[in-house]
Amino acid sequence: MADAHADVSKHVRMYMAVFAALAVGTVLTVLVSRYDFGGSINVVIALAIATVKASLVAAIFMHLKWESCSAIWMTLALCAMFFMVLIFVPVLIANDLPPQVRIGTWG
């Protein structure tokens, strides 16, 4: 089994680059939130930046870029599938809720 991290000091520069990208991403998230792009475009932009940042963390800091273990990838694929269900179910049913169970009628 070859050690993918034999020359680990070379990775340090990459970690610093990711750090810079994450810092820039954070500033960018705040900046774009201060302009009204109209409708739900702000939400889409904020989530897009967050997704890019999260992908950088997962790929570099969590070493997924170098991960070859298929069991880990299958776990993540299954996880992603169920996560999608969790996220899309409320989006898809929100407008179909009958009035009596609509949230907040007790407010």
Partner 1 sequence: MSDGVLPYTVEPHPVTGVYSGKLGTWLFLASEVMLFGALFSAYILLRVGAPETGRAAWPTAEEAGLSWKIGGFNTLILIISSVTMVMAWVSLKMGNFGKARMFLAITVALALTFLVLKFTLEYVPKIQHGHGPDHSVFFGLYFTMTGLHALHIIGGIVVMLYFMFPGAGLWKTNPEYYTNRIECTGLYWHFVDLVWIFLFPVLYLMN
Query: What Å distances lie between residue 83 and 49, 78, 88, 101, CA to CA?
Result: 19, 9, 9, 25
Site for partner 1 contains 24 (CB under 8 A): no
Site for partner 1 contains 59 (CB under 8 A): no
Residue 3 C-beta-side C-alpha neighbours within 13 Å: 4
Site for partner 1 contains 35 (CB under 8 A): no
Burial of 58 (0-12, 13-18, 19+ CB in 10 A): middle
Site for partner 1 contains 44 (CB under 8 A): no
Site for partner 1 contains 47 (CB under 8 A): yes
Task: Give the one residue of 41, 57, 65, 66 binding partner 1; rule: CB under 8 A.
Answer: 57
Site for partner 1 contains 26 (CB under 8 A): yes
Query: Closest distance between partner 1 and the C-beta of residue 34, in Å?
Result: 9
d(C-alpha 94, C-alpha 88), whole Å: 10
Task: Give the one residue of 12, 36, 39, 98 binding partner 1; rule: CB under 8 A.
Answer: 12
